[in-house]
Amino acid sequence: MTYLFPAAAEPIRQGDIFYPLPRTAADLTRDSVLLPDGRSWKVGLLGETRAEVVIQTTVHQEYAILISQDCDAERMPYLSFNTILPLMVAYRGASRPQSDSAWVKFITREMKINPHLFYLPSDPALGFTDRMAVVFAQAFQVHRTDVESNLSTLRKGRLDDVALTHFRESLAKFYSRLAYDEWYPMTPEEKAQYLDRR
């Protein structure tokens, strides 16, 4: 089993799964801001203003997993989350495996070569009617007090100890990756050949 279902009185912990949480991504060319004096501007045109503004933007309701450390989940003003998407949505363009053996091959291969995703099996009790994936590259924050005051309805489950250990390892690997430049020692001619092959 991959999931636990904690009582509402249990504290928030890393690996807790929530739904629905609001995730926004401001579009600097499309989203509007409303200034205190009533003027409206595109976000990207605000320049250096330090005024507090209200932004009109799109909010997505997302499944999400808590990535904040347990100690931070108790006292920090914001909690950090990663989005959870259906596995085949996260793997844009991949063809869906048609057999159990094809799924095993797909999941074990992809989890090794795609550090930006973490596999979560389906579980209707959690609301996962399909295989899911944590998308480490999609992080967002929510006020801790908002989550705490709605914990009984928002928290859907928690990773069990084995899954949490693997999740923490994958999370740490993703956020500690360094950019790798394999062509830095190449001459300009070698680099051109390398780029042509890609």
pLDDT band at residue 29, thresholds of 50, 70 and 90? Answer: confident
Helix (H, G, I), strand (E, B) or coil at 5: coil
Lowest mean pLDDT among 2-11, 42-51, 114-123, 140-149: 42-51
Mean pLDDT of 98-126: 94
Would 69 be classed as within a structural domain? Answer: yes
- The answer on pLDDT for 48 being more than 90 is no
pLDDT band at residue 40, thresholds of 50, 70 and 90? Answer: confident
pTM, 2 dp: 0.84
Which residues touch 88 (CB under 8 Å, ≥6 apart)? 94, 96, 130, 131
Instruction: Classify 130 in phi/psi space as left (phi over 0), alpha (psi -120 to 50) or beta.
Output: beta
CATH number at residue 75: 2.30.30.110
CA dist 1 and 10 (Å) reads 20
Would 88 be classed as within a structural domain? Answer: yes
Would 41 be classed as within a structural domain? Answer: no
Q: What is the mean pLDDT of the chain?
A: 90
Would 157 be classed as within a structural domain? Answer: yes
- The answer on pLDDT for 72 being more than 90 is yes
Contact 106, 97 (CB under 8 A): yes
Q: Label the pairing between strands 117-120 and 78-86.
A: unpaired
pLDDT of residue 46: 61
What percent of the chain has a predicted confidence (pLDDT) above 70?
93
Which residues touch 162 (CB under 8 Å, ≥6 apart)? 2
Q: What is the DSSP letter of 76?
A: -
Would 180 be classed as within a structural domain? Answer: no
Q: pLDDT tens digits, residue range 115-156? A: 999 999 999 999 999 999 999 999 999 999 999 999 999 999
Would 93 be classed as within a structural domain? Answer: yes
pLDDT of residue 111: 85
Report residue 10 as tokens.
């249990």
Contact 54, 24 (CB under 8 A): no
Q: How many domains does the chain have?
A: 1
pLDDT band at residue 197, thresholds of 50, 70 and 90? Answer: confident
Domain extent at residue 103:
3-21+62-175
